[in-house]
Structure 1
Amino acid sequence: MKFNKWILCLLLLAGNIGSAQKNVNKIPLTTIIKTIEKQFDIKFSYAVEDISSISIEKPSSTLNLQQTIDYLNAKVPLNFKALDSRYITISVLNKTVSICGVIFDENLKTTLPGASIRINNSSNSSVASTNGAFNLENISIDATIIISYLGYETKEFKAKDLFSTDKNCPNIFLKPTKVELNQVLIPVFLTSGLQKSIDGSTILNTKKFGILPGLTEPDILQSIQTLPGVESTNESVANINIRGGTNDQNVMLWDNIKMYHSGHFFGLISAYNPNLTNKIVVTKNGTSAEYSDGVSSMINMSTNNEIKNTVSGGAGINLISGDVFVEIPLAENLEIDLSARHSITDFLNTPTYNNYYKKSFQDSEINANNLDKNANSDFYFYDYTAKILYDLNDKHQFRANIIGITNELNYSENNNDQTQSKTSALSQKNIGYGGNWKAQWNSKFSTQLSSYFSKYNIDASDYRVATDQLLTEANEVIETATKLNLNYNFNEKIRVLAGYQINETGMLNQTRVSAPFYSSTKKDVLLNHALYAETEYNHNNTYLRLGMRLNYFEKFDKLVFEPRINFRQQLFNPLAIKLEGEFKNQTSTQIIDFEDDFLGVEKRRWQLVNNKDIPIAKSKQASVGFEFNKNNLNIELTGFYKIVDGITASNQGFYNNFQYKNAHGSYTNKGIEFLINKTTQKYSTWLSYTFSTNNYNFESFTPSIFPNNVDIRHSVTLGFNYNILNNLKISVGGIWHNGQPYTKVVEGEETVQSGNNIFVNYDTPNSQNLDNFLRLDTSLSYNFNFNSAIKATFRAGIINLTNEKNDINRYYKVDPNDTEKAIEVNNRSLAFTPNISFRVNF
C-alpha cells in the first residue's frame, strides 16, 4: 500500500514538473524573431502590438528557413510571408480565432467545471465542461475574454493569448477569494444563475438568471418554489411553506437586515427587487450558528459588494411594474447603488393585473367581482433601495444600506342609490437601515461588525357612513440589532467563527372603534443576547461545519442552546453522503385574526412571545441524503425529520372548530425529497418529488393529532429549458400536488348556536382534501444588443397555460338568509395569466 502511494506521488510530481517545464519552455515571440534574424541573416517587418503578447516554444535550430516559417505559421495566428530571400513580413492572419483553455483551482489544482467564459461587450459566452475545458470559435483576436467562477477571483485575457492551433490548450488558474471557504458544488442547477453549494444550500444569482417556467423576472420567492420541499399551497410568495412550516417561520435577511414583509400585491409578487440582488442563499437545514430565528428556513439576500470602475445599471417594465437601478462609482474607493420599482396600476390595468387582483381580493371585503360603477379601488406598490460602498483601504470596507417597501390600498363603495358610502384604506410598509464594517487585520484574521434597524407597519381604516363608525387597526414592529463576527482562517482547510449578537424587538397591536368608543393597545418588548461559535473544515472529499449558539432571553431569564451540524463526505467520485441537523428558536409569530382583521385582505399581524400562551417556538431537524453528480447529471435523495414545538392555534389559520381557540402545540413533518437534473449547454431538464406526512399535536384539542393545514403528501415538479439559439430560450414546466386539507361541516347540523352567536359546526379537522392541484407554465426569453454597451432582454411567460380551475382553499360561513345552513366558499388559483417584460442593461 505504501509503495502504491509513493508511485502515485511520483507520477503526480512528474506531471506537475512536466507541466511546469512546458510552460517554462514558452518564450516571447519577439525574442524568437531576433534569434531567427541572426541565424539566417534576414529581417522581419511587423507591427509590435501584433506580436508583443505572444509566447511559444522555440523552434528547433536544425530547421531550415522555410521549415522555421512553416512552424511559426502553425503556432501563432499570424501570417509569415517571404517577400524575397532577405525580407519577411508578419501580418495578422485572421480577425477571428478559435480559443480554448482548461480552468483550474490555483491552490488545489483541481478543474472548475461550470466556470463562466464570457466575451466582453458580446452576448457570446460558454460554460466550462465537466473537466474544466472550454472551446470557442470565431472570436475577435482583440476581444477580451472574462473568466469567472463563484468564490474565485475573475481573470481577463486577450483572445490571442488563448489561441492554440494544436490540442494543447493553455491552463488557466483561478485564485479562491479570501472570503469564500465554501465551494460551489453544482455551478448550473436547473437553470443558469441557480447553483448548489457544498453545504447543501441553494444559491440564486439573479443577474445570471436564465429562465424558469412562467417567470418573466428572476422573482426571488417564486424561483425557489422549483426546489423540492418548498411549497406555496395558495400560490402566494407571502405564504411559502418550507418542509411544512408557515411563512412566518422563514427568516428573511436583506444585506443582514431582518425583514418582516415579503410580498407585494398581498403576496403574489416578491417585495425584493431581483435586479439589484447579487446572491440569494436558501438554507433548509444545517444553518450556520451565526444565524437564528426562522425555525423552517433562512432566505439570505445580498446585493453588490464590490466597487466597480464604470457606471452600470438597467431598467425594465412588465405588465405589473417598472423598475430602474444604477451602480455609480464616485471615486476609486467609493460607489453608490440605487434602485426603485413602482407598479404601473396608476395608469393601466393590464390582464395580468386584473387576474392578480381577482386572486388577491377574492376572499375579502373588497371582492373584485363587485368592482362596478358603484365601487372604486386605488391600489399601488413600490420599493426602493440605496447602498453606499466605501473602501478605506484594501483591509477596511464600509457599507451602508436602506430598503423601503410599501403597499397602499384605498377602496370606496356606494350603494345603488348613491346615498351611502363606505371607505377603506390599508397601508403596509417595511423600512430597514443597515451598516457594516469589515476589517481584514491580516491574512488569517478578519472581523465584521454589522448593525441594523427594521420597522414594519400595517395600518387599516374602515369608515361606514350609515353608522358613522370608524374602525382603525395597527400593527407595528421595531427591531434593532448589532452583531460582531470574528473569523480566523488557520489555513485553506479550516476556518473558525465566533461572535456575539444583541437584539431588541418591540411589537405593538392596536384596535380602535369610534362609536361606541373602544380602544385596545398591546405593546411588548423583548431583548435577547447570543453567543455563537463554529468551525468549518473543507478539504478534498470532506466538508464539516460544527456550531453552537447560546441564546439568553433577559425578560424570561432563560437560556436556549442550539447545536448545528453540516457534513458532506464524497464516498467515491460521483457519490456523496450528506448529514444536516439543527436546533433553532423563534420569538415572533404572525397571529391570524378572523374576527378583527385588516379588511379581510391581510389577516396576519406580528406578535412577540410571552413564554406563556405564546411560547418560544423551537425546532429540531435532522436530514440525511445521498448525492450523485457525474457528467452534468445530478441526483439527490434526502430524508428529513422535523418537529416544531411552541406553535399557536391562532397562527395556523384554522377553518374548523378550533378557529377561535387559544392553545399551543407542535407539528411533526417527516418525508423524502428527490431531485434529478440533467444539464448541458443546450438544455436542462429536471424532475422533483416530495413525499411527506405533516401532523399537528394540540393536547387540549379533541382530536389532539390531525393533519397540518399544509399537509401535502405528494408533490411533483417537472421542467425543461431549451436553448433554441444562443440568445433564444424556452422553458416549459408543470406542478402537481395533492389538494390542501380542509374541514367539512357536519351534515344535518351545519351550524351551532352559542349564546346570541351562531357558528359553523365543523366536522373532524382536516379530514378531507381538495381536488389535486395541476398547473402548466411556460416562458420565452430573447436577448439582443443595441450596441456593444447596451444589452436588452425580452421575456414572455404564461402561468396556468391550460387555465385549470384549481381550488386552493375551502371553508364555510353561516348563511345570512338561513342561519341553519352554511355556505361553502372556495378560493381559486390564478387563471390563465400572461405576462411580458422588457429590460435594458448597460
Structure 2
Amino acid sequence: MRTYLGLFLLVIGMISYGQNIEKRPLVEILESIENQYQVKFSYAPEDVLPISIESPKLDLELLEVIDYLNANTPLKFRQLDNRYVTVSKADKTISICGYVLTKVDEAPLLGASVYIKDTSIGTITNEHGYFELNDIPVSSDVLFSFLGYHKKVIKSQFLFSKKNDCKRIVLDINNEALTEVVLTKFLTTGVEKLIDGRTVLNSKAFGLLPGLIEPDVLQSIQTLPGIESANESIANINVRGGTNDQNLILWDGIKMYHSGHFFGLISAYNPNLTEKVYVTKNGTSSQYSDGVSSTIDMRTKNELNRKFTGGVGANLISGDAFLEIPVAKNLEFHISGRRSFTDAFKTFAYNNYFERSFQDSDIRTKQASSDNISTTSNFKFYDYTAKVLYNLNERHKFRINFIEINNDLEYTERSQTESDDIKTKTSNLSQYNTGIGGVWQAAWSSRFNTQLNAYYSKYNVDAEDYNVESNQLLTQANEVIDTGVKFNSNLSLNDNFKWLNGYQFNETGILNETRVTIPSYYRINKDVLRNHALYSEIELLSQNAFIRAGARLNYFEKFNRFLLEPRLNIRYSLTKLFSLKLEGEFKNQSATQIFDFTDDFLGVEKRRWILANESSIPISQSQQASFGGELNKKNLNISLAGFYKNVHGITARNQGFYNNFQSLRAIGEYTARGVEFLFNKTEANYSTWFSYTYAVNEYKFELFTPSVFPNNIDIRHSVTVGLNYDILNNLKVSLGGTLRSGLPFTKPVEGNETIQSGNNVYVNYDTPNRENLEAFKRVDMSVSYNVKLTSNVAVLLKAGVLNLTNAQNVVNRYYKVNPEDTSTTIEVNNTSLRMTPNLSLRVMF
C-alpha cells in the first residue's frame, strides 16, 4: 500500500512540476550561464531586462545553450571566443500575442487598439481581449489604448511568446477621461455605455444584431429602450415619443437633414469609416443645440492609422468599398463609397423594399391585369465620404470631411387608349444631402485645448411630375442650406475637473418652391434664420459621483429673442454595484418638417423642411427630466428609469394627422411620460437582453375639440428581446423580436362617413386617435461567419432575415372617399416589410 501511495505521490509531483515550470528573467539566466561555463555576456541592459524565458537544461554544451537562447529570445547571441559572447538586437522580426484586460475585474476589452509606434502595424482585440501581430520589428514599442483607460507602452521583447503562452496586459481606468466606459459590452460586442448615459456604437468592433447584415447605425439604435420607428422606417425614428425631425443628426460635426436611403428603409450613412456613434436621449452636453428629442453624433476615425487598410463588400441591394491611405507620416486620406445596383438588376430583397416604400404613392407597385398600363422604374442610391487627416505636429491637428448622400427615382407610365394611341408619363424624384466640414484641434498644454469647427450642409428634394393628358408639368423643390461655426475650449484644472466653454453660430436658409405650367402657377417661400449661442459647463468626477452641469444661451437675430437652456447630468454610486441617475435638459429647435398630403413629392416624400417664423410656426422648445437606477454586477446590467418630456411649439402641420385636423393650422404641444426597463446579461460567448417601455404620449391643442387626445405615435407598450450566441469563435447567430402596441388611428363617424362642403366631399372623421391598430410583432434573425485567409486578410459572410415569420403588420390606417359611392369611405392600410432575406459578403484587408 505504501509503495502504491509513494508512486502516486511521485507521479503527482512530476505532473505538478511539469505544469509549473516558471520563466525566469533572462538577466538571471545569463548570470547562471556565466558562472557555469566561465563565459562573459556583453549586452545592453535595456535589451535584456524585459525578457523572461524558461531556463535551458543544465547538461547542454555551451554551443547548445547559445542555440537555445537564439531560438527562444528575440535577441542575437554570438560567441566571439572561449571567453566572450555578444548579445545584440536580432536582424529579424518577431511575433507577439496577448490578452488586454481591465484592472478592476480583469474582464477582456473588446476593440482595444494595439499599435507599433512609428509604424503602420496595428490591430484591435477580439471579444476575448486577444490580439496577435506578426513580423514586427524587434525592440519596438507596442502601444495599447482603449476609450476611458490609460494608455500603456510595452517593449515587444516582453510580448514575444508562443500562442499558448501569451501575455496578459492590464489597463487602468483613466479618471481623467470623465466620460469613462461603464459597460464595454452592451447588448452586443461593439456597443458601450458611458458614465454620462450615452450609448456608443463602435462600428469596427460591432457584433450581430437580429436581422442586420451590416452595422447599420440608425437600425441598431432602435434596440435601445425608448427608441423605435413607429412605421419601421429609418426616416421616422421616434425617441421617447418624438418625431424624426426632432433628432439632431451630426456627421463629423456637420448637421445632416437626410437620414435614409430607399426613402427611409436603409441608413444613409456608410458604417465602414464611421468609428463611433454617440446616442443621447437626455442630459445632453450644452455644446449641442437643436434636436429636442435626441442627439445622434456620428464620428469617423480621427487618428492617423499609418497603415494601408480597406475593405470591399456587397449585399443584395448595394456594393461598397473603403480605403485608409497613408500618404506621409503626418498625412492620410480616408475614403468610402456605396452604390446600389438596383438600376442594373433587381433582387428579391429589392422588390420587397420597393413595394414597402412606394405602396402608398403615385408609383404603381402592383398592376391589375385589366389595366392597359405598363410601368418602368429606375431607382438607385449612392453615398460617398472623404476625409483628409493632417497633423502639423503633436499639438495641432487639421481635419477636412466631405459627405454626399443621394437617392434618384425615375418612373414612367405608358398607357394605351381605345384608339391605340400611346401616352407616356415620366416622373422624377431626387433627394440628396451634401456636407463639407473642417476642424482644427489645438492642444496648447496638457490641461488646455481648443477646437474650431466649420461646416456647410445642403439638402434638396426635387420632383417633376408630368401629366400627359393635360400636358401639365408640376415641379417642386425643398432646399435647406445650413452653415455653422463652432469654437470649444476645454480646461482641466485637475484630473477630476473639466470646464468647457464655447460659442456657436448658425445660419439656416430654407426654400420651398412649387411651379405648374398649365394653368400657370408659381409659389416660392424662402426664409433665413441666424442663431448665436454661448455655452458653458463643468464636469466633476469623484470616486462615487459624476456631475455635469451647464447652460446654453441662444440669441435669434430675426426675432431679437434670447433663450436660456440649463442642462444637468448626475450619476451617483450608492455601492460598487448600484448607481442612481438624474438627467434634465431644456432644448430648442427652429427648423422642423411639415406634412403636405395634397402637394407632396409623387406621394413618396410628404415632408418639407420649414423655418420658425414666431407667428404661425414658433420655435419648438422641450423640457425633459429622467430619474432611475442601474445595477452592474460583472456581466449583468439591469436599469430602470422614469422620464417626463414636454415639447411645446409644435404645429398641426408637422404631426401628419390623418383626420379632420389634417388641413388645419394650430399650435400645440405634446407630453410623453413613462418608464424604461432593461435587463442585459453578457458572457464571453453570448449576450441576451429584454427591454420594456411603458409610455403615455398625448397632444394638447387648445383650438381643437377635444383639445387633449393621444399622440399619433402613442405606443403604450413596447417589448424587445434578443439573444446573440457564438456557436464557434468564427460562427455567430443572433435572434430577436419586437412586440408593441398598435398606433392610434381615427375612424369615420359610423353611419355618416362623409360630409359635403360645396362641390367637395370629405371624410367625416370621428374622435381623433380613439382606435388602435393591431399589435406590431416582428422576429428577425442573423448569422455571421468569418475566416482569416492571412494575417492581414479576412472574409466575413453574413445572412439576415427581417420579419422571419412574415407577419402582416399594419403600420398606418386612414380613409378616403369612395369615388363610386361618395357616401362611403375606403380603408387604406400601409403594411410593414414582408419577410426579407439578405446576404452580405465582405473582404477586409
TM-score, normalised by the number of residues in structure 1 = 0.88
Kindly provide the amino acid, as one letter, of the partner of residue 275 in structure 1.
N
CA-CA distance at 1:652 after TM superposition:
0.6
The answer on whether the counterparts of 1:82 and 1:88 sit within 8 Å (CA) in structure 2 is no
1:114 is the counterpart of 2:109: yes
Distance 1:220 1:482, change over 3 A: same
User: Number of residue pairs matched?
Assistant: 788
Partner Cα distance (2:545, 2:625) in 1 = 19
CA-CA distance at 1:364 after TM superposition:
0.3
Kindly provide the amino acid, as one letter, of the partner of residue 792 in structure 1.
V
Partner Cα distance (1:395, 1:186) in 2 = 31
Question: What's the counterpart of residue 90 of structure 2?
Answer: none
The answer on whether the counterparts of 1:780 and 1:797 sit within 8 Å (CA) in structure 2 is yes
What pairs up with 1:93-492 in 2 under 5 angstroms? 103=101, 114=109, 116=111, 125-127=125-127, 147-152=144-149, 153=151, 155=153, 158=156, 161=159, 172-173=170-171, 176=174, 180-370=177-367, 374-417=374-417, 419-492=422-495
Partner Cα distance (1:752, 1:206) in 2 = 54
Question: What's the counterpart of residue 76 of structure 1?
Answer: 53
Kindly provide the amino acid, as one letter, of the partner of residue 281 in structure 2.
K
Q: Deviations over 1:158-203 (max 9, x none)?
A: 485376999997664458598x431011011011111101000100
Question: What's the counterpart of residue 754 of structure 1?
Answer: 757
SS in 2 for 1:420: strand
Distance 1:215 1:45, change over 3 A: same
Aligned match for 1:830, one of 801, 820, 833: 833
Kindly provide the amino acid, as one letter, of the partner of residue 769 in structure 2.
N
Distance 1:298 1:333, change over 3 A: same
Partner Cα distance (1:479, 1:186) in 2 = 36
Partner Cα distance (1:363, 1:168) in 2 = 59
Partner Cα distance (2:725, 2:123) in 1 = 17
Unmatched segments (≥5 aa) in structure 2? 1-22, 75-93, 116-120
CA-CA distance at 1:308 after TM superposition:
1.8
Distance 1:509 1:55, change over 3 A: closer
The answer on whether the counterparts of 2:97 and 2:166 sit within 8 Å (CA) in structure 1 is no
TM-score, normalised by the number of residues in structure 2 = 0.88
Question: What's the counterpart of residue 32 of structure 2?
Answer: 36
Partner Cα distance (1:124, 1:337) in 2 = 18
SS in 2 for 1:301: strand
Distance 1:27 1:159, change over 3 A: closer
Q: Tell me the percent identity.
A: 53
SS in 2 for 1:266: coil
Distance 1:783 1:439, change over 3 A: same
Stretch moving more, 211-220 or 443-452: 443-452
Distance 1:687 1:319, change over 3 A: same
Aligned match for 1:638, one of 633, 636, 641: 641
Question: What's the counterpart of residue 68 of structure 1?
Answer: none
Distance 1:727 1:119, change over 3 A: farther
Question: What's the counterpart of residue 616 of structure 2?
Answer: 613
Distance 1:243 1:666, change over 3 A: same
CA-CA distance at 1:40 after TM superposition:
3.2
Partner Cα distance (1:297, 1:796) in 2 = 31
Kindly provide the amino acid, as one letter, of the partner of residue 752 in structure 1.
I
Partner Cα distance (2:159, 2:631) in 1 = 36
Question: What's the counterpart of residue 511 of structure 1?
Answer: 514
Distance 1:436 1:125, change over 3 A: closer
The answer on whether the counterparts of 1:148 and 1:155 sit within 8 Å (CA) in structure 2 is no
Kindly provide the amino acid, as one letter, of the partner of residue 181 in structure 1.
L
CA-CA distance at 1:88 after TM superposition:
4.0
The answer on whether the counterparts of 2:101 and 2:109 sit within 8 Å (CA) in structure 1 is no
Aligned match for 1:726, one of 725, 729, 732: 729
CA-CA distance at 1:514 after TM superposition:
0.5
The answer on whether the counterparts of 2:152 and 2:171 sit within 8 Å (CA) in structure 1 is no
The answer on whether the counterparts of 1:811 and 1:824 sit within 8 Å (CA) in structure 2 is yes
Distance 1:77 1:190, change over 3 A: farther
CA-CA distance at 1:540 after TM superposition:
1.7
CA-CA distance at 1:33 after TM superposition:
3.7
1:806 is the counterpart of 2:809: yes
1:700 is the counterpart of 2:698: no
CA-CA distance at 1:293 after TM superposition:
0.1
CA-CA distance at 1:539 after TM superposition:
2.5
Partner Cα distance (1:513, 1:202) in 2 = 47
Distance 1:666 1:367, change over 3 A: same
Distance 1:751 1:792, change over 3 A: same
Partner Cα distance (2:820, 2:801) in 1 = 41
The answer on whether the counterparts of 1:76 and 1:164 sit within 8 Å (CA) in structure 2 is no
Partner Cα distance (1:600, 1:235) in 2 = 18
CA-CA distance at 1:138 after TM superposition:
14
CA-CA distance at 1:785 after TM superposition:
1.7
Aligned CA-pair RMSD: 3.1
SS in 2 for 1:454: strand
The answer on whether the counterparts of 1:118 and 1:126 sit within 8 Å (CA) in structure 2 is no
Partner Cα distance (1:136, 1:387) in 2 = 28
The answer on whether the counterparts of 1:76 and 1:163 sit within 8 Å (CA) in structure 2 is no
Kindly provide the amino acid, as one letter, of the partner of residue 575 in structure 1.
F
Partner Cα distance (2:695, 2:231) in 1 = 18
Kindly provide the amino acid, as one letter, of the partner of residue 735 in structure 2.
V
Q: Deviations over 1:438-462 (max 9, x none)?
A: 1111111111111111111111111
1:840 is the counterpart of 2:843: yes
Aligned match for 1:603, one of 603, 606, 611: 606
Q: Deviations over 1:60-114 (max 9, x none)?
A: xxxxxxxxxxxxxxx7246435225997453546999997767467xxx896763
Kindly provide the amino acid, as one letter, of the partner of residue 385 in structure 1.
T
Q: Deviations over 1:5-30 (max 9, x none)?
A: xxxxxxxxxxxxxxxxxxxxx9951x
The answer on whether the counterparts of 1:122 and 1:788 sit within 8 Å (CA) in structure 2 is no
1:791 is the counterpart of 2:794: yes
The answer on whether the counterparts of 1:211 and 1:721 sit within 8 Å (CA) in structure 2 is yes
Partner Cα distance (2:635, 2:364) in 1 = 49
Unmatched segments (≥5 aa) in structure 1? 1-25, 57-74, 129-133
Partner Cα distance (1:94, 1:356) in 2 = 59
Distance 1:169 1:782, change over 3 A: closer
CA-CA distance at 1:619 after TM superposition:
0.2
The answer on whether the counterparts of 2:96 and 2:134 sit within 8 Å (CA) in structure 1 is yes
Partner Cα distance (1:157, 1:813) in 2 = 74
The answer on whether the counterparts of 1:813 and 1:824 sit within 8 Å (CA) in structure 2 is yes
Kindly provide the amino acid, as one letter, of the partner of residue 705 in structure 1.
V
Partner Cα distance (1:840, 1:86) in 2 = 47
Partner Cα distance (1:211, 1:837) in 2 = 13
Kindly provide the amino acid, as one letter, of the partner of residue 39 in structure 1.
N
The answer on whether the counterparts of 1:97 and 1:159 sit within 8 Å (CA) in structure 2 is no
CA-CA distance at 1:416 after TM superposition:
3.6
Distance 1:98 1:253, change over 3 A: closer
